[in-house]
Amino acid sequence: MAFLRYLAVHASARNRGLGRHLLNDALQTVRADGWAHAGYPYLGLVFEVERPGEAETDAERTIRERRIGWYVRNGARLYPNVDLTTPPVSPDQPPVSYHLMFRAAVPKRMVGRTLRRMMVESVLVHGYGAAPDSRYVQRAMAG
């Protein structure tokens, strides 16, 4: 699967279907890359979203809730029980907690612990460089 680091549409260009187009284009790329590199389509996109309950303001909470809602309306699934905490991106930064989401690129998808392990490893190990046996990976897999 692929780790989607960031997807955004400038505020002046929103509500025109551009975000959906970008997401669908990313999914097509994931399928094509899978065929090219592995001989089968990759499962989909895994990504993190900020937790609404940890927002510092009501306005920020609303933005986070809308973002999650947009991804759900566009076929993604939220995994709120995965305790995803990323390692610090630099020594002076704290770890950050996120929700994990997944958007399938192929109709048949894996479920359960295998899918969870693949999503967590895609984000934390391959995306952030955490060790597979790190506390971050163990914590996300424990839920």
pLDDT tens column, 105-121: 877 655 667 788 888 99
Beta strands (DSSP E) in 36-94 are 44-50, 77-86
Is residue 131 within 8 Å of residue 125, measured between CB atoms?
Answer: yes
Task: Please give the mean pLDDT across all residues of the chain.
Answer: 90
Mean per-residue pLDDT, 23-49: 90
pTM recorded for the entire structure:
0.81
Give percent of the chain above pLDDT 90: 61
Is residue 46 within 8 Å of residue 7, measured between CB atoms?
Answer: no
pLDDT of 115 reads: 81
H or E element in which residue 100 lies:
strand 96-104
pLDDT of 111 reads: 60
Q: Which of 99, 87, 68, 88 is nearest to 137 (CA)?
A: 87
Q: 3-state DSSP call for residue 15?
A: coil
pLDDT of 109 reads: 58
Mean per-residue pLDDT, 47-54: 95
- Report the C-alpha gap between 6 and 47 in whole angstroms: 8
- Report the C-alpha gap between 3 and 133 in whole angstroms: 19
Residue 106 or residue 85, greater confidence: 85
pLDDT of 97 reads: 92
Query: For 22, left (φ over 0), alpha (ψ -120 to 50), or beta?
Result: alpha
What HEC string does 119-138 produce?
A: HHHHHHHHHCCCCCCCHHHH
pLDDT of 38 reads: 83
